[in-house]
């Protein structure tokens, strides 16, 4: 039976990316050694790092005054590294979900934090609008896609202060104007590669402005000066990121990916709205293209477990919603083929035929 992987992360990767990574695990470019055992400072891995950075810059149109880094620790490590390096007196945050809350918690240990807007009043089912960003803040932090609640910011904000964005789960899913951000970061395990690598796109002019001592490993300048190789980087995940970016470029880049992602999401949202058994959880103007969250209609709530078992039996993997919201979550990241979304829709229709009153 074919498996359709809707997991929120670690998540689906393109088949050729997995296959090419597997080949490199056995033998990197015919050198007789695995990518897992070559020196990160040797020419063979340096070529991997250089190409990955170059593809990042090319596919996202990154201006020259930005650096691309690959570090460990996940996006969660950045929740403290960002204020450590950048929060001198005050920072502004937009609270749109669990990960934004975690980032806010860490920042409060380094200075004043102003939450300019929050959707906690409706269980993070929408993106706040009409908020004011304080002009004396050191930076403004946003989480562009909220995997747990299925909401997404689909615009590049204009801001009077530097914008920092956690794009863990929607990087490379659509074109972005990098020049509107001072920093973009995220874990690789959604649209880019396996868990273990953290990407950072950071602009020169925001560094070196805080008064505190910053430990060497937590200082962005350390990793910029050493090309992400101050210590051993996560070599295998970086290699897979390179293969993913090669695949993305071959398909036509982020513009093509945006069109494909929108088509997948529109199909699934349309079925959720049509189907008598299901309902979406996110406000229509805030709906995520990456993580589509839905629940049973109130009169069918007792069927939640039954549907999950039914869908799993049909090859649908990773549909269970996060414990904080329940229901279901279909993650339709870049590598998710349209056929898998169509297969899920067929399962939903079949279940409706069996159970609708």
DSSP line for 27-65: -STTSSS-TTTS-TTSHHHHHHHHHHHHHHHHHHT--TT
Written as six digits, the tokens of 209 are 């402005």
- Which residues, including other chains, have CB under 8 Å from residue 24's CB and lie 6 or more apart? 34, 35, 239
Q: Which H or E run contains 250?
A: helix 235-251
d(CA 77, CA 101): 14
d(CA 77, CA 305): 35
Q: With H, G, I as helix, E, B as strand and everything else as coil, classify residue 174.
A: coil
Written as six digits, the tokens of 324 are 């904080």
d(CA 32, CA 15): 24
Written as six digits, the tokens of 62 are 């990154």
d(CA 24, CA 315): 29
Written as six digits, the tokens of 259 are 């069109």
Residue whose C-alpha is closest to residue 331's, from 265, 286, 272, 277: 265
- Which residues, including other chains, have CB under 8 Å from residue 262's CB and lie 6 or more apart? 289
> CA 138, 286, 140 angle in degrees (round to 5)?
0
Q: With H, G, I as helix, E, B as strand and everything else as coil, classify residue 19.
A: helix
Residue 75 dihedral angles phi and psi, to the nearest 5°: -60, -30
Residues designated as active site: 99, 166, 190
d(CA 152, CA 169): 10
């Amino acid at each position: 039976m074919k498996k359709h992987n809707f997991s929120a992360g670690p998540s689906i990767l393109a088949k050729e990316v997995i296959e090419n990574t597997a080949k490199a695990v056995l033998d990197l470019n015919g050198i007789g050694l695995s990518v897992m055992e070559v020196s990160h400072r040797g020419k063979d891995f340096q070529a991997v790092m250089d190409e990955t950075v170059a593809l990042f810059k090319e596919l996202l149109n990154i201006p020259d005054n930005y650096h691309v880094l690959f570090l460990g620790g996940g996006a969660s490590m950045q929740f403290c590294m960002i204020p450590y390096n950048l929060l001198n007196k005050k920072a502004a945050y937009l609270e749109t979900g669990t990960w934004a809350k975690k980032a806010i918690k860490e920042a409060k240990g380094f200075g004043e934090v102003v939450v300019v807007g929050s959707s906690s009043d409706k269980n993070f089912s929408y993106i706040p609008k009409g908020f004011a960003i304080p002009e004396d803040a050191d930076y403004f932090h946003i989480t562009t896609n909220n995997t747990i609640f299925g909401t997404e910011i689909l615009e590049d904000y204009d801001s009077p202060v530097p914008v920092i964005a956690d794009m863990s789960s929607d990087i490379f899913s659509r074109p972005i104007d990098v020049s509107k951000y001072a920093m973009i970061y995220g874990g690789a395990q959604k649209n880019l590669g396996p868990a273990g690598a953290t990407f950072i796109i950071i602009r020169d002019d925001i560094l070196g402005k805080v008064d505190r001592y910053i430990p060497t490993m937590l200082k962005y300048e350390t990793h910029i000066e050493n090309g992400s190789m101050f210590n051993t980087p996560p070599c295998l995940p970086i290699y897979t990121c390179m293969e993913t970016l090669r695949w993305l470029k071959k398909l036509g880049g982020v513009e093509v990916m945006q069109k494909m992602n929108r088509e997948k999401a529109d199909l699934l949202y349309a079925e959720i709205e049509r189907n008598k058994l299901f309902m979406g959880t996110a406000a229509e103007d805030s709906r995520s293209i990456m993580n589509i969250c839905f629940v049973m209609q109130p009169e069918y709530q007792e069927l939640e477990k039954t549907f999950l078992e039914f869908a799993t039996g049909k090859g649908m993997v990773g549909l269970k919603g996060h414990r904080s919201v329940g229901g279901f979550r279909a993650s339709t990241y870049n590598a998710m083929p349209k056929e898998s979304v169509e297969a899920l829709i067929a399962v939903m229709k079949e279940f409706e035929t069996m159970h609708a009153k």
